Amino acid sequence: MLLERERKDIVEYGKRMIERGLTTGSGGNISIYDREQGLVALTPSSMDYADIRPEDVVIMDLDGNIKDGIRRPSTEINMHLLVYRNRPDVNAIVHTHSIYCTAIACMGWDLEPVHYMLAIAGRGAKCSKYATYGTPELAQYALEAMGDNGACLLGNHGVLTAGPSLERAFAIAEHLEFVAKLVCITKSMGKPNLLTDEQIAIVADKFGTNPYK
């Protein structure tokens, strides 16, 4: 079975997404890119994470040609492949519909720097324009919004995170949901005290996530 270890990791982290409240049912998707083999492992379309087995994970090349698997790949195949083609530092992607990040994305807001943990994504997480799920347009909007950072919000949709490993991409998704929750709470209390770009950059330097360093 091609990319057996990666397939098992995707199954594990899919269940973890559900357990930690980052998505529901079959919402969102996960992928890992093995650059040495030029192959991507991607979650299947429309399968509940509780039911996915390693053999259900789809293997393809960067052109989307299926190399192994018994299922249809996630509808967001375009988004995953476009990021991998344009970001040599990215080897894993996590897309979730976490409540607070998605709420902010439904407002069309960038994720504001109310807490220094935003820096785990680099200089921040901007919100993309809306496009129908699974389309090349959404993939392009996501790539543009992410820039050189490790995440972006998807307008009226969810959040996309990326990193050198699945562990890092998942950690970014978790921490951004924490920051998004703080944004929603602090805005309900009044006007949040936002950190400056310089303050976020200092923390990004400490985290090793500053894309401009």
What is the distance between the alpha carbons of residues 172 and 164, in angstroms, rounded to a whole number? 11
DSSP state of 127: B
State the number of CA atoms in the 13 A half-sphere of 101 facing the CB. Answer: 31
Catalytic residues: 76
What is the distance between the alpha carbons of residues 84 and 63, in angstroms, rounded to a whole number? 11
Alpha-helix runs per DSSP H in the chain: 4-19, 77-86, 99-107, 136-146, 166-189, 197-207
SS3 assignment, position 163: strand
What is the distance between the alpha carbons of residues 18 and 5, in angstroms, rounded to a whole number? 21
SS3 assignment, position 18: helix
DSSP state of 51: T
What is the distance between the alpha carbons of residues 156 and 72, in angstroms, rounded to a whole number? 25
To the nearest 10 degrees (0 to 180), the angle between helices 99-107 and 166-189 is 60
DSSP state of 156: T
